[in-house]
Structure 1
């Protein structure tokens, strides 16, 4: 096919071409259908004129015919390019040994090893289940009324009525969610979701059948082993009217929304039971999840085809990707290459914006899938699949694009735009390699070194309560005194028990029968003495005394003498303000750098307060199992934490406690609540480069996850 005099291979006889929809710029298009593979190809005006004259069998003859019979001007190179496209897609009828060899070569290239097949298909593969054309031919006449205007108005009326009725019992409607957090609820949700998805796919299939399109198959697809139903509606490519294609793409979501509106109305009239529960699920979660997934235009779901048909752009993703790559090269290197296609300025902006948004979306999606795969499978396989995910779907496309930059001409690399891009890249590389990060900022808490929260150990009546916030107390000084009539009674009862046992032991020698019970009485005496000592200890605990000399803070001003208080009631805080300590919690990746800290400054959360110079006292070698409440994310702190079964705050990632002490000459701020102060600490450390810091984080994660 390189020579203009060489005979061109003929087109396959079963191919047929029909008029297609108008292009975005109003130009006519044609659709070439390959029925053997059920593939469709969109041809522009020039390509159609070439294909329609392919029977001339010579490139030069085709060129002369087009130039003479139309207003177009083409050359043999354009014919050769189209011929190569037809050859690659097996649209030509090849004959002879050369043709057979070429077909064998193409078949060999398409054959994949089981490893390659698994790599390409483990994330997404389809299993066709039915060929629904006969079912659709029987079903469509019986449900054709759903496409009428009257039915649409009826659904809108039902939606308005359902919203009105639900608004009158909104609280009851919302609280219904809590009924499904059990196995029975999950089964009901699965059944409702399956019904909604079947209706969704039938919506696509019936609408495609309505416009004369064949539906080759319906079945189930697996996305990261999660099953979803699918409908092969590829024949909608032959529809000339883009509104019809929009109708097919949106029919699934329209069917689910209609079902949701009817289910919402049914919920208002049904009595409590399985039917009402199913109606609630169909009216809420199922269609919301469907819209969230299907409306996304960045993956090839309904939203993508809706956007492509609305813009009037076939093959939106590959075309926008190709144009965005060309635009990137022109932006970075000032390339003067011909763009992949001529576009209006508005469409250029749409292509570039869509491509970049899709790339960023896929980057986050594939990273998320990689982490999902890692956590879903056992660790060794999870790591392998994580590497495959990141390498194949993220690193490989970037590396492929960068390899194409090597083919740029010398003139391109030497123009001002390229020099600017290279300068910026070198500057960024220098910033990564030069050790300039000489500090670490970490969350911290400054508090009194000796600090005690006083709680009531058991229920009692408050008898003595004479302190005030800010009162100074000496070690052992009475803070509050409580009494408990129940405890007094139990103490008296145990004392009487002991007296009785003592008397029995005193007279055990007078009678022989009493002497045989001596061991029993000794055990009872030991038990009675232990009970009495325990009750006395509890009575002493009701007298709250200062554990050390300090200042009373956060006095509970809601209690007063004579009041009965429950066990665990917070009473006050006693703090020794003569010495302060600062707790710092380091991430594992910052531990090595922070170990060489030469100076530190504590910055209170309140910007009006001055910084406090500190000295490093110690770093704990083991990670902290608990963190202070003020530093936890659940209380507005910076450390990600959760509440465990013991109602304790547990950090999500490993953190290490570092202790600092304010310098002797540091000016301490005057605080209304000086016992605890939240803030952050800047640790001055030996400088390291950003790339070294990134490497330390990677090594930390690898070490943490290395246990299989």
Structure 2
């Protein structure tokens, strides 16, 4: 209704400019607010209202005059346009009432400190200077940078540089790892500032070449991390989509040119500071351009380029409306009209873009929440983490769920949707029910009695009496060895014994000779003890079976080979008694215990599963994994890291589980140790309750100060 409404006076500092055509090709104009450097798009109908605007005239009279000119506007259309003018402060406030309304608008826009912090701590702009005069002087001098010959020259050099890098990729990658340190991060930070400065200058020079005014340049705090920005709002006045795209993509193209040139120079420069600088510029430019700037899901260059390429302004807001419309139609059967008239193909594209952006934002905001938690001290980190998750993830979902609940009576549930929601309910019920959990325990099957035989001292093999797989008896000779130094020492002792016996046989009965005889007898006894020790050492060189069993893991031994004390020669295993030893992660520790049943599945094709029973679970995690075949270093399932003394330390807590075999009749011949996995039927547990407990445990752990 427009009864009693008077047209407000428009501000005199507004400018009317021709704009780019609408998405459907209809002509448009731009209303430029020079004070706020802001553009408003106007249709032909809105332009006609502006041209014939009569400040102070009544709305009814204005509509009648327009009708006499052949333009029939409804009262609702005029009221909506007046609201647009007043809400965007495009009118003059000549009366006390109008001034009060402007002041109230300003007061309503003011946020409290905490609301302001929630809305702005992720992105705060700080303008530093107005570069337009400087750009006006320098743009003509740098026209050669935008020449086609420069473009193709940089592409050629960069392509050659990439080919050369591929040919020495190992060296390039090792250089990257070399700079992955605190000092390298500092250099990368400095390089990032330089590259991003060039990025923003690319936007600024490109905008100036298109005749646009660059209002300001400055620093923006993105999650408290400083980044540069350039205000190219004036690009809205360009009617050519290609011209706007050149401004939007100028920053990315600048970074890519730097990356190509730096990659080429890295291959030519000798080792030194210049080559390191080229490496920093190349890697920084490639990473920031590919991973950040060209992403269409963030409101950076890639998003605006994608929006201009599609010819869809305010792409995200409009796509989100289509995404919500499609969700409500798909899951609830709400037959709402399209948010706006669009061809079917474009509507599907906007729905797909909205859903992809939501998925991307979910992981992005979750990552930012973790980032702000680790960047700040613990109390503030926890607070910002909670704000980030609740405000940007939970709250939007909650708002949409509230709409679904409010409109529940409008839902049209067909067979397909009923089946879908029945499936959702089934999954929810399944996650709540306490179900038996199958636990996979990496394990090894090993003999209870197993012994590797080593030589007691360096020796040479004289005879190998057994081969792989032979069955031996306890005490049976396996390998006979000799040590030449030991034989020589034994021969010397034997000669000294003969001399001592000879002296004892020739000794007389005088007092002096009896005294010498006592000393000789002592020497003789010491020589006998020394001979017995040497004979014992010689006996230890004869390797015998410690118990009845089978020979396994025998080395390639043959007579004449010297062996040392650290080399295992062979192993003997008792084939009648085996057990299983496994290692379980901490998250499954409460699911199994003594008496739990399972089966051992060996990493050997064709071998039958063996029933096992848990006999014991250690109360402390292992410090090192004793079986290398279970570690990730050798292709096993347990992630480990190798420490200085070559120990394999698990990345997460693992506990030793001892198991006994119920039946080994189907075991047959096997090695002393066989890796595999034990499937244990664990205790009943609700999956959802377990996840909630994990989250609660993490919160309790992180809340400790």
**For 1:509-546, what per-residue CA distance to the aligned partner results, in whole angstroms no more than 9, with x for missing partners?**
xxxxxxxxxxxxxxxxxxxxxxx999999999977666
Q: CA RMSD, aligned part only?
A: 4.1
What is the aligned partner in structure 2 of residue 677 from structure 1?
Answer: 675
The structural deviation recorded for 1:292 is 2.0
The structural deviation recorded for 1:583 is 3.4
Secondary structure at the counterpart of residue 350 of structure 1: helix
What is the CA–CA distance in structure 2 between the aligned matches of 1:335 and 1:184, rounded to whole Å? 58
The structural deviation recorded for 1:62 is 6.6
What is the CA–CA distance in structure 2 between the aligned matches of 1:540 and 1:309, rounded to whole Å? 90
Q: Cα 1:423–1:48, aligned 2, differ >3 Å: closer, same or farther?
A: farther
What is the CA–CA distance in structure 2 between the aligned matches of 1:568 and 1:58, rounded to whole Å? 106
Q: Cα 1:185–1:395, aligned 2, differ >3 Å: closer, same or farther?
A: closer
Q: Cα 1:619–1:330, aligned 2, differ >3 Å: closer, same or farther?
A: same
What is the aligned partner in structure 2 of residue 692 from structure 1?
Answer: 689
What is the aligned partner in structure 1 of residue 520 from structure 2?
Answer: none
Match of 1:602 among 582, 591, 600: 600
Contact conserved, 1:334 with 1:417, CA < 8 A, in 2? no
- 1:304 paired with 2:282, answer no
What is the aligned partner in structure 2 of residue 369 from structure 1?
Answer: 368
* TM-score normalised by L of structure 1: 0.81
Q: Cα 1:606–1:213, aligned 2, differ >3 Å: closer, same or farther?
A: farther
Structure 1: runs of 5 or more not aligned: 494-531
What is the CA–CA distance in structure 1 between the aligned matches of 2:533 and 2:220, rounded to whole Å? 69
The structural deviation recorded for 1:409 is 6.5
What is the aligned partner in structure 1 of residue 233 from structure 2?
Answer: 234
What is the aligned partner in structure 2 of residue 318 from structure 1?
Answer: 317
* TM-score normalised by L of structure 2: 0.82
Aligned residues: 666
Q: Cα 1:336–1:168, aligned 2, differ >3 Å: closer, same or farther?
A: closer
What is the aligned partner in structure 2 of residue 360 from structure 1?
Answer: 359
Contact conserved, 1:604 with 1:679, CA < 8 A, in 2? yes
The structural deviation recorded for 1:452 is 5.2
Contact conserved, 1:442 with 1:584, CA < 8 A, in 2? no
What is the CA–CA distance in structure 1 between the aligned matches of 2:105 and 2:75, rounded to whole Å? 25
Alignment of 1:122-521 (within 5 A): 122-163=121-162, 176-177=175-176, 180=179, 185-186=184-185, 188-408=187-407, 410-412=409-411, 422-435=421-434, 437-450=435-448, 454=452, 460-463=458-461, 465-473=464-472
What is the CA–CA distance in structure 2 between the aligned matches of 1:177 and 1:227, rounded to whole Å? 24
What is the CA–CA distance in structure 1 between the aligned matches of 2:14 and 2:538, rounded to whole Å? 99
Match of 2:666 among 644, 665, 668: 668
Q: Cα 1:269–1:99, aligned 2, differ >3 Å: closer, same or farther?
A: same
Match of 2:616 among 592, 615, 618: 618
Structure 2: runs of 5 or more not aligned: 493-530
What is the CA–CA distance in structure 2 between the aligned matches of 1:217 and 1:129, rounded to whole Å? 7
Secondary structure at the counterpart of residue 578 of structure 1: coil
The structural deviation recorded for 1:161 is 4.6
Q: Cα 1:29–1:680, aligned 2, differ >3 Å: closer, same or farther?
A: farther
Match of 2:585 among 581, 584, 587: 587
What is the CA–CA distance in structure 1 between the aligned matches of 2:370 and 2:669, rounded to whole Å? 46
**For 1:408-465, what per-residue CA distance to the aligned partner results, in whole angstroms no more than 9, with x for missing partners?**
2633367777756654544443333333x21223232131153657486999455265
Contact conserved, 1:588 with 1:700, CA < 8 A, in 2? no
Q: Cα 1:485–1:303, aligned 2, differ >3 Å: closer, same or farther?
A: farther
Contact conserved, 1:481 with 1:543, CA < 8 A, in 2? yes
What is the aligned partner in structure 2 of residue 118 from structure 1?
Answer: 117
What is the CA–CA distance in structure 1 between the aligned matches of 2:49 and 2:381, rounded to whole Å? 51
The structural deviation recorded for 1:36 is 2.5
The structural deviation recorded for 1:80 is 3.7
Tell me whether 364-373 or 394-403 shows the greater mean CA deviation.
364-373
Q: Cα 1:121–1:469, aligned 2, differ >3 Å: closer, same or farther?
A: farther
